Amino acid sequence: MEGEKATVIDTDSMIEGRLTGKDARILGTFQGEIDLSGRLHLGEGSKVEAKVKAAHAEIAGEFKGELTVQSLVLIEKARVNGTVDAQTIAVREGAVVNGAVNAGAQRAKPATVAPPKPPLPGTMIG
């Protein structure tokens, strides 16, 4: 985000709604949806409750909701509650994650159960 303009929600702001764009830095409070093509940074002291899709995320504050990213870094004071889906995750000592975590390049896909095959005509059942 250095050298490029990013959306910034400062420490005194409380926003509810939908945030779209490339990069965002949230230092205050946000509730809603976030859809970014670039990087999301949740600063220390931030409180975010949202459904998030972004290329990369770095969390140093509190997050609650669904997070779908390619790479995720949880800083020492990060508090995450919800669902995390990422190809790579780095968790620093002191960070807390409560919820479901799906990680890795070959993330497991939900298993599907095929319905039983019907018996062939003329086959006795029982």
pLDDT in tens, the chain (126 residues): 455 688 999 999 999 999 999 999 999 999 999 999 999 999 999 999 999 999 999 999 999 999 999 999 999 999 999 999 999 999 999 999 999 999 886 544 444 555 566 666 665 555
pLDDT at 108: 45
pLDDT in the model for residue 1: 46
pTM above 0.75, yes or no: yes
Token digits of residue 103? 């990680």
Q: Any idea where the domains of the chain sit in the sequence? A: 7-103
**CA separation for the pair 8, 35 (Å, rounded):** 14
